[in-house]
Amino acid sequence: MKSEIIDILTTNKILGNEYVENIYLSNKKQENFILPNSIVALENYVSNCSLCELGKLKKNSLFAKGNIFSRFYIIGLNYNYTDDKKFELLKNMVENVIDVNINNTYITNILKCNAIKSNNNYNKEAELCVNYLEKQITIGAPEIIITIGDAFDHMIKSKDKVTDVSGKLFSYNGTDLIPLMDPEFIYKNPSYKEKMYQDLKKIKIRMDEK
């Protein structure tokens, strides 16, 4: 209960609120707070966020890369698009198979902090951060969302393995969503390379239909 109160007060501080009405704890989460409608203001808001452990451990924020108004979004869980080698893998797949210039995409994460926990369980953090992601999607209104790796599980709330659902069409709040395996996973598991290629071709077909 104490941590919930601290989270609420911290959020109001970020928003610049000096007065907070009586706090009634419930199952309602951060989505009830009003987030900025400007992408610049939202990025500044996120850079000052410390609602979870990652916010306190972060070296910096990984808000997004590219144009918010791109029709094509690529979303990871905590994909480090500043890593040249990892980014090159993604770039090659997008440009060579889907035939979309990587500079014409918008790349972002569910988790906005460049920090790593001692374990791999990011469920609590993802539940908080997904509200920022949904605001980005609302502002930019993409036509197609591509998730990579574990991002699918947190956005669709699925327990399916991404290797089983990769390339299939889903809807996320009315927007087409197609999950893909993580490019790094493909690099380490070349037996999935052909499946990945076929999944990317499905995305290209969907893009051409738009």
Residue with the two structure tokens 């601290």: 6
Percent of the chain with pLDDT over 70: 83
Mutual orientation of helices 123-140 and 39-47 as an angle, nearest 10°?
160
| CA 31 – CA 3 distance, rounded (Å) | 17
b/e map 135-152, b = 16+ CB within 10 Å: bbbeebebebbbbbbbbb
More confident residue, 153 or 12: 153
Q: Is a pLDDT exceeding 60 seen at residue 8?
A: no
Tell me the domains of the chain and their CATH numbers. 52-209 (3.40.470.10)
More confident residue, 48 or 117: 48
pTM of the model: 0.81
pLDDT tens digits, residue range 91-150? 999 999 999 999 999 999 999 987 777 667 888 889 889 999 999 999 999 999 999 999
pLDDT band at 50 (very low <50, low <70, confident <90, very high): confident
> Is residue 76 within 8 Å of 147, Cβ to Cβ?
yes
DSSP structure class, residue 81: T
* Mean pLDDT, residues 146-168 taken together: 92
Backbone φ, ψ for residue 147 (5° rounding): -100, 145
Q: Is a pLDDT exceeding 80 seen at residue 27?
A: no
The mean pLDDT value of the chain amounts to: 84
* Mean pLDDT, residues 160-184 taken together: 94
* Mean pLDDT, residues 16-33 taken together: 45
Of 42-51, 69-78, 115-124, 169-178, the range with the lowest mean pLDDT is: 115-124
More confident residue, 106 or 52: 106
> Which pLDDT score, from 0 to 100, does residue 168 have?
95
> Which pLDDT score, from 0 to 100, does residue 19 have?
46
| CA 115 – CA 141 distance, rounded (Å) | 28
> Which pLDDT score, from 0 to 100, does residue 55 have?
78
> Is residue 10 within 8 Å of 33, Cβ to Cβ?
no
Sheet strands side by side (includes 106-109): 64-66, 106-109, 72-76, 144-148, 175-180, 170-172
> Which pLDDT score, from 0 to 100, does residue 28 have?
40
> Which pLDDT score, from 0 to 100, does residue 3 have?
44
Q: Is a pLDDT exceeding 60 seen at residue 4?
A: no
